[in-house]
Each structure stands twice: as C-alpha cells, then as structure tokens.
C-alpha cells in the first residue's frame, strides 16, 4: 500500500528508538510484506530464514531485528520487534473503519447497479456499473468492484487476511492494509470468501466465474476467464493464470503459480507450481495420465502382495 503522506526513515527510528544503517533521510512511500515490495517500500523481517529474501527484495527500507551488512542503496531500521513497527504503520495509514450505516456515505456506486436489502458496503468502496449484489453480501472497506459483476447471497469481499505472528503470548494479528479487487464480468456464488491483501491486493480477473463456497486467500492473483467449482480453497499469495479450471474441492497451496489453461480435476491437492496447458489429478497432483496409471497400480497392490507372499 502507498503511504500518504510519505514518512522518512529518521522519523520512524526516532519513534521507536531504533538504530539506522544507511540513509536516515530516505523517504518511505509504501508499505508491503516481502512478497509484494517495490522501490520506496518499507518491509520487515524478524527470522534469519527470511533475511536473504528481504534484503534482496525490491523494498528500499527494511525493519530487521539484527545488524547485518547494509545492502546496496537500502536503509535498515534495526529494532528488537520489527513486526510491531510494521503493524503500527499499517494501522496508522489504513486504520480500522467502524460503520454506522449499511452503505457508507463515501462509497461510490455506478449507474445501473442493483443492491438488494441487507447488503453491507464499507468505507471507500467502489462499485462499477450494472452490477447485481444479492442479500447478505458484505463488501469490506477499500474493496473495488468493476462493471457487470454479480455477487450472490452471503458472500464476503475483502475480509481480513489470515496472517498471524506467533510468540510467547500467543498469536498477534497482522493488520490488514490491502484490499480486494473484482474485475468486470466476474460472477461469484453464494457463501464465498475473498480475503483482502495483507498490504497489496487480492485480484479476481475479468470474466472469471466462481461457484458457491469457494475461499480465495490474501494476495491471490487470479487471471481472466477462470472457472472455480464449489469448495475450492486457494491459500495466500498464489498466482493463477488465465483460463484455469479448478474443479470441486481442489486445494491450492500458498506462494505457488498455476499456468495459463491448466485444468485440475476434482478433490485434487496442489502443493507446488503447475505448468499451464495440462490436466492434473490426484493428492498430490500429477498429470492426469500418470495419475491414472498410479491409481491402477494402487488397485492392483493387494493382488501383487498375495503373489509376492507366495514366492
């Protein structure tokens, strides 16, 4: 997310009595978690496992819990609790919005859009033209919905990211400072949940059709003209290409990519990235022909075992 107005490294360090390595006058123009950073962004890291990823990211400023050599042109803010600083900044620039009305006064709703009773539309929401929003739909603050979108009953758009940091006191929630974006001609079934990005956006591409009871996690990017059947679950920060089909009860892991035109058959599990243009099946998935051969062999195992025992 972008920071308006920008803030300097020096100002943050002074607030938290932190040490600066690098240019303390560097201006911070955005805040993002490691996977979505760009030049001018601040991010945080507090585990050595992710030091390299953070230091080599596109972020210009990194809050870190240990002194390390300064990466080229980056500024480091050294503090014992980087998560605290990051979370406080997120809350400051995109604070929690309490709503006293069902449809916020500053929500922008396009011509021809039909909103049924018992719909909630939060602050700073933008809805395009000729949409249909059925009863019970909840559209969280900052969400964006383009033209000709249909959202069926009791679906949630832009709910908080499922992102927690565990310590000795339990689970500390990362403040959601991103949003959900639904492009034109998307249809979303009943009882679906589309989470907002942690600090960037979750995006559903133009023309995609989503069945009922589907969950899309934080920062997921879905391409154009995809089809997701009921009970599909997609974990955070995954990228799905154009014209991808996920049939019922497919589970997709976090931080992976599914290529254009891929088809994943029902009840399959996708633990790693998949090439486009192929059909997949199984737990974990394999190309459909190989998966079919595996199933045939599994069915023959009792017979093979009996023959083996008699050798």
Give the residue numbers marked as catalytic: 218
Please state whether 298 falls in left (phi above 0), alpha (psi between -120 and 50) or beta: alpha
Nearest Cα neighbor of 210 from 183, 190, 195 is 190
Enclosing H/E stretch for 11: helix 9-16
Cis peptide before 284 (omega within 30 of 0): yes
Nearest Cα neighbor of 131 from 118, 147, 142 is 147
Enclosing H/E stretch for 44: strand 41-45
Are the beta carbons of 251 and 230 closer than 8 angstroms?
A: no
Rg value, the chain, Cα:
23
Query: Helices in 188-268 by DSSP H: which ranges?
Result: none
Distance CA 96, CA 123 (A): 10
Distance CA 15, CA 7 (A): 12
Enclosing H/E stretch for 309: helix 288-309
Are the beta carbons of 99 and 124 closer than 8 angstroms?
A: no
> 């459909």: which residue's tokens?
288
């Amino acid at each position: 997310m972008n920071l308006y107005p920008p803030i300097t490294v020096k100002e943050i360090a002074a607030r938290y009595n932190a040490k600066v390595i690098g240019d303390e006058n560097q201006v911070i123009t955005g805040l993002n978690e490691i996977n979505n950073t760009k030049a001018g962004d601040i991010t945080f890291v507090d585990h050595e496992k992710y030091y390299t990823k953070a230091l080599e990211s596109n972020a210009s400023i990194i809050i870190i819990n240990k002194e390390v050599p300064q990466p080229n042109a980056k500024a480091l803010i050294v503090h014992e609790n980087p998560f605290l600083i990051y979370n406080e900044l997120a809350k400051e620039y995109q604070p929690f919005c309490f709503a006293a009305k069902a449809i916020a006064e500053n929500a922008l709703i396009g011509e021809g859009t039909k909103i049924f009773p018992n719909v909630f539309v939060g602050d700073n929401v933008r809805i395009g033209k000729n949409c249909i929003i059925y009863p019970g739909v909840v559209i969280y603050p900052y969400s964006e919905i383009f033209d000709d979108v249909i959202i069926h009953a009791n679906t949630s758009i832009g709910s908080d990211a499922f992102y927690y940091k565990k310590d000795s006191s339990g689970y500390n929630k990362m403040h959601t400072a991103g949003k959900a974006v639904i492009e034109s001609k998307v249809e979303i079934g009943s009882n679906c949940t589309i989470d907002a990005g942690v600090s960037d956006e979750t995006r559903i591409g133009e023309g995609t059709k989503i069945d009922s009871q589907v969950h899309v996690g934080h920062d997921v990017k879905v391409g154009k003209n995809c089809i997701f059947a009921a009970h599909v679950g997609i974990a955070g920060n995954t990228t799905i290409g154009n014209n991808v089909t996920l049939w019922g009860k497919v589970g997709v892991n976090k931080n992976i990519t599914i290529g254009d035109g891929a088809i994943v058959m029902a009840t399959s599990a996708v633990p790693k990235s998949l090439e486009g243009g192929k059909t997949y099946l199984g737990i974990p998935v394999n190309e459909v022909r190989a998966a079919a051969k595996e199933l045939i062999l599994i069915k023959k195992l009792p017979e093979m075992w009996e023959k083996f025992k008699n050798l």
